[in-house]
Amino acid sequence: IKVLVLHGPNLNRLGKRETDIYGQMTLEKLNERLVSKGREWGIEVQCAQSNIEGELIDFIHQAEGEFDYIILNPGAFTHYSYALRDGIASVDIPVVEVHLSNVHSRESFRHTSVTAPVCRGQIVGFGTLSYELALAAISAWVQGSAD
């Protein structure tokens, strides 16, 4: 089983950016942890990040036939990118949307996700653990212990 973890805009700044909201862990460290968690669970994890909307869409298109699942943090694109939403809908790969922060307790523009309706599910507000929980959900689906 192969999982693509895709990080959107400004997530390369993780560990440096608004650490009160997003925490101290760097993106590099987070990716390392996800790869090693995946290994424990028999899942091959590959990670990518882009600040560019079209590049994220390209990653999603190119994942077809290569990856079984995508874990996606679309960053601020979550709230307004219909192009990213259509990109997700254009591939036959289940996508789990994740957010580090609890977007529902923040500014009202963050309460809307235009991408979530075309995702398999959404995990929000658990910091870097949000990604691990998404990987745990995928592991459970793969093992057939969830429907």
Taking CA atoms, 34 is separated from 37, 47, 76, 132, in Å, by 5, 9, 22, 7
CB of 86 to ligand DQA, least distance (A): 19
CB of 118 to ligand DQA, least distance (A): 16
Q: Distance between CA atoms of 24 and 53, rounded to whole angstroms? A: 25
Residue 76 interacting with ligand DQA (CB under 6 A): yes
Flag whether 73 is marked binding: yes
Please, which residue, 2 or 17, has the CB nearer to ligand DQA?
17
CB of 6 to ligand DQA, least distance (A): 12
Q: Which of 142, 141, 134 is nearest to 116 (CA)?
A: 134
- How many of the other CB atoms lie within 10 Å of CB of 147? 5
Please, which residue, 76 or 146, has the CB nearer to ligand DQA?
76
Flag whether 6 is marked binding: no
Amino acid letter, 117:
P
- Max CA pair span of the chain: 39
22 assigned to active site? yes
The number of residues making up the chain comes to 147
Flag whether 105 is marked binding: no
Question: Which residues does the annotation mark as catalytic?
Answer: 22, 99
- Residues in touch with ligand DQA (CB under 6 A): 10, 73, 75-76, 78, 99-101, 103, 110
Which residues carry a binding-site annotation for substrate? 73, 79, 86, 100-101, 110
